[in-house]
Structures are given as structure tokens and as C-alpha cells.
A and B are shown apart, each in its own frame.
Chain A
Amino acid sequence: MKRDTTRGLEKTPTGILGFDEITGGGLPRGRPTLVAGGPGCGKTLFSLQFLINGAHSGEPGVFVAFEETEDDLIKNVRSLGYDLPNLIRRKKIAVEYIRVEREEIEETGEYDLEALFIRLNDAIRQIGATRVVIDSVETLFAGLQNQGILRSELRRLFVWLKTRGITAIVTGEKGVDTLTRQGLEEYVSDCVIALDHRVSGQISTRRMRIVKYRGTAHGTNEYPFLIDREGIAVLPITSLQLVHTATNARVSTGLDWLDGMFGGKGYYRASSVLLSGSAGTAKTTLAAHFLDAACARGERAMSFQFEESPAQYLRNMRSTGLHLEKWVKKNLLEIHAARPTLYGLEFHLASMHRAVDRFKPSVVVIDPLSAFAGGTFDEVNAMLMRLIDFLKGRAITSVFTHLIPGGLGPVEKIDIGISSLMDTWIILRNTPPGQDGGRHLSILKSRGMPHSADERLFELTNRGMVTV
């Protein structure tokens, strides 16, 4: 329970990752919320998570199921690790399955839906429920003929729930041009949420829109969300503000000589670092030095690898003298590998978000950033901004590698958009074949600190990156 001090509206946390954050605490307490969307958009899952998380935090709940039986629901959430039968046995959750078959029913004269109220009331009473889900009440319209009675009874149902102080989710099926087929949004004045599932270019994107939320400031943005093996995760994107507290603390780059180029101290903690260079300029190795040093200090580190499998990555780093596998074994380092083209940008962002919140690393490496080139420039930029914002908000120091194709052009002109998001920008360069020289590193910029303007020559050895 959280009180919104500005307006005095109490909230009930859903426990759904990211959702309570964007709504300033969850759903309006003691009131019904409408969750609308097309088939397969995640309405039922959203509702079930709300109920199950409530059941685990002392708020029993009733699930009124019009479309799925208790067994269906149990199967649906088993893969997410929810033991629904156990919660039902312990009277933390009750499932009231309601089946209305039009073919079985003849109508003659006036009626009401009092039996529905009686059943719901009985289920609430039996387990002392404070949360209710009704999924989906619109099924009644297919089963019963008298639309006038249904409408007035539904209106009565919403008032009934509110009078009892029940925090409820009522789901509605998306209509052709309307939020819900039966216009349920008219009956719900406090909170309306629309879920959407689109597939374009073989990439599936799920979005959540807060259509209405009385008494609460909410972004009008659509929030991307994902459904993975842990359920729904919503990405807070409107928290894009530059409110990160600046810190003077420093964190080692992993190389003494490179720390020296930053005044002997390394990067700022909670800053973002870009390592640019063409293929084979030791970007990944430099990032690995950073991870290695963090783990050696006993901090947690996380690496997102988009071009190599974890095994490949560990083997390659071993050849440069970086034995990262020992940190993996000590649970200080987590390596996540994924093919970027398989998922949409938002899915990546969401899964990174989730992994980081679970493991709580102090440093993160994203290698390489160029893997996200699938989206348009604006999309990639927006996603990157959100990612950096997210990491800084958690005081995480992040290192991004970035592949510059060709590598002969003036690198400063490339990707101005990306570099402006970065606090520190390091360029790695190989002397073109046939010329004298070797591997070079220079610091193009590093906000808020004096740094070396030299171009430093280094070698890649089996003891890592060494200056010559």
C-alpha cells in the first residue's frame, strides 16, 4: 500500500515488474480497473500475476473465470513458476469458473444477474478476498440476449465492487473501433489500461497504454512490455529525466596505464563509456579488463554479448590472459548472450532491465552496441537513452562497445547521436596494413575530468593489453 501524497489516492501494488513504477504504486486501491486488449495480449496473465502477487503478500483474491477453467489457469501459470494449486489449497486464491452457454438457455421475462453476485460474494467471503479479477465479463454478452439487463447489471457490478472496497481488475476484449467490445470503459472511471500485441517485420512488440488513471500523473506514452518465463515486465520509459546524482567516485578501467590517462583514477562511477573501433581493435578485450577488475574488487559484473556465445567469449578472453570463468563460478559475473536480430529492441531492453534488476551488478558491458542497428536511427537512439538512463538510475557504470565499419574515415563524425549520450568516449585504432605502427588508443572525450589527449600505443598479449 502506498499513498500518493499529491492527491491522496491509495494504491495497491501489482508486483508486476515496472508497472508499479510507472503508476506510482500500482492500481487504485479499493476500486475496479479495466484491462482491455485483443486476444493473446496478456490480459489474463496480467490479472493472474496481480492476484498471485497479492496472495503472497497477505491479500487473498478471487479469479472469476468466464473463459478458462481452473485447470487451464493452473497450466497457464505453471511455466512461470507459480504454484496456483497450492495457493488454492491454502485459501489464498479461489477460482470461480462461470460458464454461460447460449444454446442451453431460453429467456422469458425479466431477470437479473444476482446469482453472479451471490457466487462472487460467497467466494470473497470464504477466503477473505480483497482482490478480484473478472475475466472476461463480456462473455456474458455472447451467452445472454437481453443487452439492456446486462448493461445495467454490469454497472451495478462495478458499483458493488467499489462499495466493498475490493481492488479489482475487469478485463475486456478489444472492439473494432473501441477500447472494448461492449464499451466497458464507460463504467470504469478510475483506471483504464490497454494492452496491445503487434507483429511487424517478424518482430513482436507488446505495448501497454494507461488510458486513464484518476488522480495520478501518468505518462501518455505507450510502455513496451514483455512476457517471458517470469511473466510480464513493463519498461518505465517516461522516467527519462536527468536526475542522476553526480558522483565523484571513480572506478578502474581495469588497466593501470589507462587509469593513468584519466588522471590515475579511471572512469566516473555510474557513467557511460563508449569504446569505438573497427573490427579487431580489442574493444571486447578492453571491456573484459573492466569486468575482470570489478570482479577482482568483489563487485558484481554483467556482460551482454551479442556476437559470441558465452563459451566462445570466455575462450577468446582466456587467450588474452583474462580468466573470466572463475568470476562466473564465484557468481560475480553473469554473461548473457542473444542474437539481436531475433527480438525487437524493446524486448532486449526489457530482458536487460530484468536481468540487471535481478543480479544487481555494479558494472555492465554491452558488446556490441552496433548489434541493435536493426531499428531506425531514432528507435536505436531512444532505446539507448532509456538503457543508459536505467543503468545510471541504479548507479551502474556501463561500457558499450561500438563497431565502426571500415575504420578509415574520421571516427569523430560517426554516430554523433550515440556519442552524445556517453560521458566518456574511447577510440581504438589499428594502423592500416603495410604501414608502420600498431594498435592505438585515445580518449576523445571524458566529461567533467582532465584526461590525456595522447594517442597511446599498446599491444594485445597473453597478459592482456600492454603499453609499449
Chain B
Amino acid sequence: MSTRRRTGRPERWILRLYVAGRSARSASALKNLEEVCEKHLAGRYRIEVVDLLRQPQLARGDQIVALPTLVRRLPPPMKKIIGDLSNQERLLVGLDLRRGSRRQGAA
């Protein structure tokens, strides 16, 4: 892990949210993400929203299949979280903001 929180230098977070148009699911994913970021990463994050209906070619680079998909571009390693991000607990684990057994409840 590249977490440098303990060194005192604030870490930059770049999160990219892939969506298709302005669906209810896209909106709710963005709202859920903003809430978590404000709470845990206030002042040191940036969210980029990519609408694949407008820029379909961008899906290739990050290997996007499902929507919505959240990609943690920084800090490394890259992580992907798919879904409307409605389960805050899973979102925190997925972003490595909370320790927890990954894949809990996984099939």
C-alpha cells in the first residue's frame, strides 16, 4: 500500500466515475461518492465524471464493462468499484479507506 497518511503529507485522490447519461443510478452513485469523499477525504480529492455516451472510446483504457464504475486512479494501486455505491461500508473497503475483509459476502 502506498498510503502516506502517517508522513503528514496529504495524499491526493483522483477518482473517476464512469456513467452512461444522466440516469437515476448514475446520479445516486455520484451522490453516494461525494458523501463519502466529503466525510473521509475532504480537501484532497477530485472526482471526474466520464459519460461514456459522449466519450465511448474512454471505456477501453480503464477496461470498463459495468456501469456505474468508480476507478481510483490515485493513489495507486488502481481499484475499481462497480455499482451505485449504495453500500457505504463496501465502498470504504473498496477504496481502502477502511480495513475490512474484502469480498465479504462474495459469492
Contacts and interface: CB of A to CB of B under 8 A. Distances in A.
A111 B83 contact: yes
B66 A122 contact: no
A100 interface: yes
A108 B65 contact: no
B3 interface: no
A110 B63 contact: no
A98 B20 contact: no
A107 interface: yes
A145 B67 contact: no
Contact of A105 (B18, B32, B67, B81): B81
Interface stretch (A112-120, A347-355, A410-418): A112-120
B85 A114 contact: no
A113 B86 contact: no
B52 to A, nearest CB: 5
Given A114-B20, A115-B52, A116-B65, A105 B25 contact: no
B59 A107 contact: no
Contact of A115 (B67, B87, B91): B67
Interface residues of B, number: 36
Category for how many chain A residues contact B? 20 to 34
Interface in A87-126: 96, 98-100, 104-116, 118-119, 121-122
A147 interface: yes
A96 B107 CA distance: 28
A115 B65 contact: yes
Contact of A108 (B20, B53, B78, B85): B85
Contacts of A147: 107
Contact of B53 (A113, A116, A118): A118
Contact of A122 (B25, B29, B56, B83): B56
B49 to A, nearest CB: 14
Nearest to B78: A104
Nearest to A105: B80
Contact of B84 (A99, A104, A110): A110
Contacts of A114: 20, 52, 66-67
A118 B20 contact: yes
Nearest to B20: A114
B26 to A, nearest CB: 10
A118 B60 CA distance: 10
A105 B63 contact: no
Interface string B28-72: 010010000000000000000000110011011001111111000
Given A113-B66, A147-B107, A108 B90 contact: yes
A115 B83 contact: no
Question: 9 closest pairs, A vs B, by CB?
Answer: A106-B94, A109-B83, A109-B86, A109-B84, A108-B90, A122-B56, A108-B87, A115-B64, A114-B67
Interface of B: 18, 20, 25, 29, 32, 52-53, 56-57, 59-60, 63-69, 78-87, 90-91, 93-94, 102-103, 106-107
Interface of A: 96, 98-100, 104-116, 118-119, 121-122, 140, 143-145, 147
